[in-house]
Amino acid sequence: MDGRLAIDTAVLLVYFVLIISIGLYMGRKEENLADFVLGRRQIAWWAILASLIAAETSAGTFFGTPGEGFTFRNYTYLQL
């Protein structure tokens, strides 16, 4: 095994163990699935908005919008 491959594998394993540990620790506070999904209805509106914008904006938006403008020579493409 190449030295770099071993380091990469170790970093990934540590990352996965850390993420799973954090998830299990934080998951103990949730009483049911509704609390988890709805965030106990305590999430600020701006955090929800940022999450929606981040989910909607993707690589397709960054590459597709200029591509549509170049292909059709207009900029009427809108991400809804």
What 8-state DSSP symbol labels residue 32? S
pLDDT tens, the chain, 80 aa long = 677 899 999 999 999 999 999 989 988 878 888 887 888 888 899 999 998 888 887 777 777 777 777 777 766 655 54
How much is the pTM?
Answer: 0.49
Please give the tally of structural domains in the chain. 1
Nearest-angstrom CA–CA distance, 78 and 57: 12
Residue 77, domain member (yes or no): no
Residue 80, domain member (yes or no): no
> By C-alpha distance, which of 29, 25, 52 is closest to 40?
29
Residue 17, domain member (yes or no): yes
Range of the structural domain that residue 37 is part of: 3-72
Are 40 and 63 in contact, with CB atoms under 8 Å apart? no
Residue 19, domain member (yes or no): yes
